[in-house]
Amino acid sequence: MTDRAKKILAAADLIACEDTRVTKKLAQAFGFTAPLIAYHEHNAEKVRPKLIEKVKNGGVVALVSDAGTPLISDPGYKLAASAIDEGIDLISIPGASAPLTALLLSGLPSDRFFFNGFLPSKTGARCKNLKELESIPSTLIFFESANRLASSLTDMATVLGNRPAAVARELTKKFEEVRRGSLQDLAAHYTEAGGPKGEIVVVVGPPGKAAAAITDASLDEQISDALLQNSLRDAAEIVATATGLPKKKIYQRALDLTKKAGN
């Protein structure tokens, strides 16, 4: 907590937060006496007008998050937008930011980066989203949950190629950890070890200067990787999305590889 953040919260008439139980501990530690009100994705539409009205009546409202920076993958951005529409002044008090902290610790290029937030939970939609990001000449940053980490890393390797990457968890906290490696190596590790506890950020390096032509060998490798965690049909769809090749052709090749492996 910076001195400026302490002064702002001490002067607030109302503190909006994700979970009042969490922020109550912060308030007790620093002696903040303003009432707490929950503001999160499930009640934002109902609570937001009340917060705006409080400020319009001369009050000072502070918005805090349980972890990280408010407004990043957070309904706080809608509150900020509403305040701007109403001509209300905003003050930002910088604090810990998981995407930026992960980028700094990843060892990957930081001159250009693209933050995507959470990927879709279903493999097909996730690969479609990744395909849209494939040609962005920047380091990519994602949030991910522990139970989806291995499958997401596998899909990233399939769609984006075997780029250098880093998986960071519990950033700026007691059990902070960063694991670096290729997407394939990281996918293999978390498939075997299981998802780590805590909040996770995945950082993926930018594409190479020139995308290599898809050879039969590289296509077979992508199909084999996709088959590790997916059915034949799903694997064909994933690789077809990643390569732009006809799904029928990919499915037949996957079928041939499966039969060959069976022999």
186, containing H or E segment = helix 183-193
Predicted confidence (pLDDT) per residue in 104-153, tens digit: 999 999 999 999 999 999 999 999 999 999 989 999 999 999 999 999 99
Residues 79 and 167: their CA atoms lie apart, in Å, by 31
Q: State pTM to two decimals.
A: 0.73
Residues 132 and 55: their CA atoms lie apart, in Å, by 40
Predicted confidence (pLDDT) per residue in 56-73, tens digit: 999 999 999 887 777 777
Give the count of beta carbons closer than 10 Å to the beta carbon of residue 83.
19
- CA proximity to 165, closest of 121, 128, 201: 201
- CA proximity to 158, closest of 137, 178, 138, 129: 129
Strands 139-144 and 113-118: parallel
Question: In the prediction, which pLDDT does 213 show?
Answer: 54
Predicted confidence (pLDDT) per residue in 76-102, tens digit: 889 999 999 999 999 998 778 899 999
Residues 226 and 235: their CA atoms lie apart, in Å, by 5
Residues 194 and 123: their CA atoms lie apart, in Å, by 18
- Planar angle of CA 35, 81, 118, nearest 5 degrees: 90
- Planar angle of CA 183, 138, 140, nearest 5 degrees: 45
Predicted confidence (pLDDT) per residue in 5-39, tens digit: 999 999 999 999 999 999 999 999 999 999 999 99
Lowest mean pLDDT among 26-35, 124-133, 158-167, 246-255: 246-255
What is the torsional sign of CA 225, 226, 230, 232? negative
